[in-house]
Amino acid sequence: MSEIYDVDLSVFESGTPCQRDNVVNTVMTSLKTGFVYTSHDLTEDLLDAAYGALEAFFSLDAEVKQTAIVPGANSQAGYTGPLTETAAASQDADWKEMLAWGTELPAGHPLRSRFPNSYGGIFLPENLVPGITKTLTEFSKRILDIQRRFLRIIAVGIGCHETFFDAMTLDGATKNRAIHYPAMGDAPGGNHIWAGEHGDIDLITALPRATERGLQIKLSDDNGDTRWVDAAPPEGRMIINTGIMLDRITNGMIPPGLHRVIADEHQRADRYSVVQFCHPTPWTILSPVTSCITADNPQRHAPIAAGDLLSQVLHNIKLID
């Protein structure tokens, strides 16, 4: 089975050429699993403030939280109640509730006029939790900065210039999702889990903190045998996992990180986590880079616009009728 490694982003950014090469090689080896752990420069104060605001929201009565639903947002903005999202590989809805917010652009920006569902606004429940908008906006901005910097490691690893992802993620349709996984003892019926097996739709996903264990990673060996392992980042590290869009760009060289969230039989506590999905602009054409196409690995997919791929997958997981 492949291993999940831990790297220091700052070494890539300020180290010697040899040190930079070592970080790139370690990341590319680790991403065979779809996962890697990395250092980051988020402060504990900012993390505490963000998670505190979100816990305050999720602690509200169900009827109050319903007022934060954004009609027509397909769970990409505002509140989504439990048992709404179903993993593509599952028949049972996930036992979780979510608060999502995205990217806001000026009214005259062409991306906003062409893709209103992706850039319609942030829609955070400021009236319910005063100060949440300022806190989560700063939190999101800082995580996106880390993700864009980390993508430079991946760009070098696939044989591109380190700025390859910069333009496609500038004003990208970044999505943030805070997730509350209620205690499993409160779930209706015995078939639901916190989140079924899935891969994310984006380029990469960042998870800076989770309040409880539960995230599991699916690892495969060369014979196709698989097993689930607990995500176990070192203290203070961020989890990065890869998504379907990066798989398209790398022609399968970097697969999407398959994962699930599941409580064990002795786990009774709720779980809170916040993930940020780093998306390119919706008009980005996802097509394999030439360095990832070889005689042994011919082109696997026809080009598709990022926005179209997102709609396709959202339909598959029953978030779009």
DSSP per residue over 144-183, as a string? HHHHHHHHHHHHHHTTS-TTTTHHHHTT---EEEEEEE--
Q: Could you report the per-residue pLDDT of 125-148, keeping only the tens digit for each?
A: 999 999 999 999 999 999 999 999
Q: How many CB atoms lie within 10 A of CB 19?
A: 13
Phi, psi of 277 (to 5 degrees): -95, 115
Q: Could you report the per-residue pLDDT of 161-216, keeping only the tens digit for each?
A: 999 999 999 999 999 999 999 988 777 776 778 888 999 999 999 999 999 999 99
DSSP 237: P
- Mean pLDDT for back-to-back runs of 10 residues, the chain (321 residues): 90 98 98 97 96 97 95 86 79 88 89 86 92 96 97 98 97 95 79 87 96 92 87 95 97 96 81 96 96 96 94 75 58
- Asked if 179 contacts 113 with a C-beta cutoff of 8 angstroms, the reply is no
* Tokens encoding 173: 């349709």
Structural domain contains residue 6: no
Structural domain contains residue 28: no
Which helix or strand (DSSP H or E) is residue 38 part of?
A: strand 35-38
Structural domain contains residue 223: no
Structural domain contains residue 92: yes
Q: Which residues pair with 204 in a beta bridge?
A: 242, 278
Structural domain contains residue 303: yes
Structural domain contains residue 19: no
Cα–Cα distances in Å, from 117 out to 49, 113, 291? 28, 9, 34
Q: Which residues pair with 98 in a beta bridge?
A: 80, 179
Structural domain contains residue 286: yes
Q: Residue 285 sits in a domain of what CATH number?
A: 2.60.120.330
Please state the domain count of the chain: 1
Domain region containing 281: 42-218+243-316
